[in-house]
Amino acid sequence: MCHKFFITSYAKAIFELSVEQGKIQDWENMLVSAVIVSKNKEMRFLLKQSFSYKDKIADIFIDICGDVLDIYGKRLILILSQYNKLLLLPRILKMFIFFKSKYEKNITAEVISAFVLTKKQKNNIILFVQKKFFSKVLLNCRIDNTIISGFIIRVQDMVLDYSGIGCIKRLQNFLNN
């Protein structure tokens, strides 16, 4: 169970970083290369035996991967090596691919705002929804001045109300209870 949590946590963090960097395919390539190295018979022997030479094993691992790894990929190898988790790379890759397949499905987010949203605000909303749903986001925006200020985001069956009128209603409910 501990390994499953570790694998999911690392795969999710790697995937979120890859989305943020706009380098999903690069990260997949780095992980595939690292998995190939981790499955090598001699490397597996080293990874199973050496608990006292973690840094040296990480350096060897990184050297074998070569230029495929960027600075973040190298850091990942160092971290996995520190915790003796390099043998979990195939399962981390599998989970990463799962997140990628979910991400490649588009979802639509409706944003209702009191005013026209700036490009930066739209991008922030898209990033927020992408992280929440692991999907590419199509944004539909419309203006409704009855919400006073702020905005409402609707995605599938989820509604996030950051509007002025929503805040007033929540305050009213709080005071009435």
Low-confidence winner among 3-7, 67-71, 120-124 (lowest mean pLDDT): 3-7
pLDDT recorded at residue 53:
76
The residues, ordered by sequence, that sit 6+ positions from 168 with a Cβ below 8 Å of its Cβ are 148
| Residue 2 to residue 67: CA distance in whole angstroms | 32
Q: Which of 26, 24, 30, 7 is nearest to 94 (CA)?
A: 7
Range scoring the smallest mean pLDDT among 46-55, 92-101, 144-153: 46-55
Secondary structure letter of residue 161 according to DSSP: E
Across the range 158-171, mean pLDDT stands at: 88
Measured CA to CA, the distance from residue 23 to residue 106 in angstroms comes to 18
Residue 52: its pLDDT value, please? 67
- The pLDDT > 90 percentage for the chain reads 56
What does the pLDDT look like over 128-151, one tens digit per residue? 998 888 888 999 999 998 888 889
CATH code for the structural domain at 2-102:
1.10.520.20
Domain boundaries, the chain: 2-102, 105-176
Strands of the 150-155 sheet, one edge to the other = 136-143, 106-113, 150-155, 158-163
